């Protein structure tokens, strides 16, 4: 019973509600801009934690993810736009890599270098939030076509789209 509960927590949803994903992206933009403007390292740590939590457990352990799925989407009348989960998870992995690099740069090289990397996150999260273009999903599509992504994952994406 406990094992099933833990497994349920550490599961990335598929499909993902694109409305919630875009709200998460908007909050990532806000958090990232806050870091760029203030230089406060704890904001960068919070950004990294959010990506790590979403990679491991979708919205279940992410304050931003929970706010989007449990508060904001219901306030908006529960709009549902299902999209495949694996590309969204890949996008979260890319965000995790960028925020990890930014944190390392902040402490090892320069806060300015960290802000530059987070600036790239702002651009791509803004595209997701504003116009629904997920760059990670775009790259994921090419990785599927090139055979880098296993066929089982490709089939999961097709089932959601059908």
Q: pLDDT tens digits, residue range 65-83?
A: 999 999 999 999 988 998 8
Burial-class residue 37 by CB neighbours within 10 Å (0-12, 13-18, 19+). exposed
Break the chain into its structural domains and give their ranges: 2-161
Residue from 44, 53, 51 nearest 103 by CA: 44
pLDDT band at 92 (very low <50, low <70, confident <90, very high): very high
Q: pLDDT tens digits, residue range 7-47?
A: 667 777 788 899 999 999 999 999 999 999 999 999 999 99
Alpha-carbon gap, residue 120 to 136, rounded angstroms: 13
Predicted local distance difference test score (pLDDT) of residue 154: 65
Structure tokens at 112: 């300015």
- Give the global pTM: 0.88
Predicted local distance difference test score (pLDDT) of residue 39: 95
């Amino acid at each position: 019973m406990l094992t099933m509960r833990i497994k349920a927590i550490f599961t990335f949803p598929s499909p993902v509600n694109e409305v919630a994903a875009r709200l998460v992206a908007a909050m990532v933009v806000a958090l990232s801009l806050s870091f760029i403007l203030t230089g406060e390292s704890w904001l960068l740590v919070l950004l990294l934690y959010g990506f790590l939590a979403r990679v491991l457990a979708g919205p279940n352990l992410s304050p931003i993810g929970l706010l989007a799925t449990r508060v904001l989407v219901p306030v908006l009348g529960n709009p549902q736009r299902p999209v495949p989960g694996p590309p969204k998870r890949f996008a979260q992995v890319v965000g995790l890599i960028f925020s990890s690099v930014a944190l390392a740069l902040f402490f090892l090289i320069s806060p300015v270098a960290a802000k530059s990397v987070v600036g790239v996150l702002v651009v791509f999260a803004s595209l997701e939030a504003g116009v629904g273009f997920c760059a990670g999903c775009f790259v994921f599509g090419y990785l599927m076509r090139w055979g880098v992504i296993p066929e089982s994952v490709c089939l999961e994406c097709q089932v959601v789209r059908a």
